Amino acid sequence: MPDDEHRIDERLIRKINAYLEKNRDPSTPVTNLLDPEELRSRLDLTLPEGGCSLDDLYRVIDEYLEHAVRTGHPQYFNQLWSGFTLPGFLGEVITGLTNTSMYTYEVAPVATLMEMELVQRMGRLAGFEDPEGLFLTGGSNGNLQAMMIARNRALPEVKHAGFTRDARLAAFVSEEAHYSFEKAANILGLGMERVIKVGTDEAGRMLPEDLEQKIEDSRAAGLRPFFVGATAGTTVKGAFDPCERIVPLARRHGLWFHVDGSLGGTALLSPRHRHLLDGLEQADSFVWNAHKLMGLPLICSVFLVREKGRLLASNSVDGADYIFHDDGHGASDLGPLSLQCGRRPDALKLWLSWKYYGDTGYAERVDRFFDLAAYAEEIVRDTEELELMAPRSSVTVCFRYRTPGIEDLNAFNLRLRRELARSGRSLVNYGFLGEDMAIRLVIANHELTREDVELFFRNVLSAAESLLNPS
């Protein structure tokens, strides 16, 4: 083993700082986007039999950073997460340095206590008096976990005996809900066709009256309704389903009521915006991705259950005495609550960040996101060539470029989005609202300013002009 393997080279510290400094330079491209084959031709991806030197590794790191998308750049608007925070980064470093796992208190004592504290804190913010919870590998797995608990509540025998042919369960989510609900139905043996889509209003919010109709229709068709999943912050429009109006329907029909707050859960930290989640306190379960609007490095996601014992009842199995011992610490072992065995201590980076920014710092961040999104919406409304495609609900703004003479707006806006990415000036994603393509601007970087938003729209107009009038 080389002697230099056990110390951090100062060159690495310099590389990290140089990368961060370039992120803050507006002239730095957000991405150096190449086609896969061209990028492959520029990289040496071979794995040598005899290994390589640390100098060789640093050259590889330089290449990686050169071609990595700069998600901390102020012109990165592509996903529902962006930015860089030092406490979160430090948490990732210490996590890798200590290299532990979250199945037992014995092997992760401090991280276990941090996770337990954060579950209680986040659960109380959600309105759960005595919550049960766990850090998971993302909102998709949180939705899967919620549907699994609901399935086991509806059909307790399924955990041990499996499905019978007459188990015709039906779940309900909005047309704007995340695709992970259908994946969960596939994994759990329900079948994707049993995830019934409920209509939404213009802003993308679930229509309770359509939910009630769909429930009644499913019963008439011989199905057994068991689950409804609301969304707090939809993927494209950023809409918040009206939980207060969904709760009575869920209770009346005996459905498990889950809220996917992967994006919008962080609104709970803002006194100005937490009303968007009114009714959450009556939900049965809730998932909240701190790696989104709380700015943590991926992955940092928390799943919460209002009634303690549900996680353990659904996930525990026999035959694990080789790892879970009766040594006096068993009550603090989180492994039996989890579908995973090995699990990273993601609580560390969230705990460090919350300690550093505090409640006030996070409230200010959430308010700034909403204010900047409102400013972006104002720019769209005031710019003749831009069209707002849906009412803004939170931190996403859906718009498109249009002027007379453009025959296919979808094709043009797709070219426009690609031109922005190709140039490296801005990276932004898109989605479809019905048959119409919309560019989806996401405000999620806590370092963003009004000037960054203005620059983005100048880049949009400039790229559109170059497409319309190529030199």
Q: What are the residues facing 229 on neighbouring strands?
A: 173, 258
Give the whole-angstrom CA distance, residue 272 versus residue 286: 21
Looking up tokens 């037992």, which residue turns up?
104
| Residue in 119, 94, 120, 121 with CA at minimum distance from that of residue 108 | 94
Q: Domain range spanning residue 303?
A: 94-353
- In what order do the strands lie in the sheet containing 132-136? 132-136, 301-305, 285-289, 256-261, 224-231, 169-174, 195-198
Note the pTM of the prediction, 2 decimals.
0.94
Taking residue 108's Cβ as centre, other Cβ atoms within 10 Å add up to 25
Q: What is the pLDDT of residue 325?
A: 57
Dihedral, 49, 55, 57, 60 alpha carbons, nearest 10: -110
Residue 391 lies in a domain: no
Question: Do residues 286 and 134 lie in contact, with contact meaning Cβ atoms separated by under 8 Å?
Answer: no
Residue 397 lies in a domain: no
Q: What is the pLDDT of residue 1?
A: 46
Tell me, what amino acid is at 316?
Answer: S
pLDDT in single tens digits along all 471 residues of the chain: 455 666 788 888 999 999 999 998 888 999 998 999 999 999 999 999 998 988 999 999 999 999 999 999 999 999 999 999 999 999 999 999 999 999 888 899 999 999 999 999 999 999 999 999 999 999 999 999 999 999 999 999 888 888 766 679 999 999 999 999 999 999 999 999 999 999 999 999 999 999 999 999 999 999 999 999 999 999 999 999 999 999 999 999 999 999 999 999 999 999 999 999 999 999 999 999 999 999 999 999 999 999 999 998 888 776 566 565 566 565 788 778 888 888 999 999 999 999 999 999 999 999 999 999 999 999 999 999 999 999 999 999 999 999 998 999 999 999 999 999 999 999 999 999 999 999 999 999 999 999 999 999 999 999 999 999 987
Give the whole-angstrom CA distance, residue 206 versus residue 230: 8
Give the whole-angstrom CA distance, residue 424 versus residue 426: 6
Residue 288 lies in a domain: yes
Strands 396-401, 436-442: parallel, antiparallel or unpaired by DSSP?
antiparallel
From the centroid of its chain, how far is CA 410? 27
Residues 6+ apart with CB under 8 A from 134: 115, 119, 302, 303, 311, 334, 337, 338
Q: Is the dihedral of CA 102, 106, 107, 109 positive or negative?
A: positive
Which bin fits 51, alpha (ψ -120 to 50), beta or left (φ > 0)? left
- In what order do the strands lie in the sheet containing 436-442? 76-77, 427-433, 436-442, 396-401, 386-388
Residue 71 lies in a domain: no
Residue 146 lies in a domain: yes
Q: Is the dihedral of CA 274, 277, 283, 287 positive or negative?
A: negative
Looking up tokens 């995340």, which residue turns up?
178
Query: Which CATH number characterizes residue 310's domain?
Result: 3.40.640.10
Question: Do residues 116 and 345 lie in contact, with contact meaning Cβ atoms separated by under 8 Å?
Answer: no
Tokens matching residue 251: 């209770």
Query: What is the domain count for the chain?
Result: 1
Residue 230 lies in a domain: yes
Residue 408 lies in a domain: no
Tell me, what amino acid is at 104?
Answer: T
Neighbouring C-alpha atoms within 13 Å toward the C-beta of 332: 16
Question: Do residues 456 and 426 lie in contact, with contact meaning Cβ atoms separated by under 8 Å?
Answer: yes
Q: What is the pLDDT of residue 165?
A: 64
| Residue in 222, 353, 226, 205 with CA at minimum distance from that of residue 292 | 353
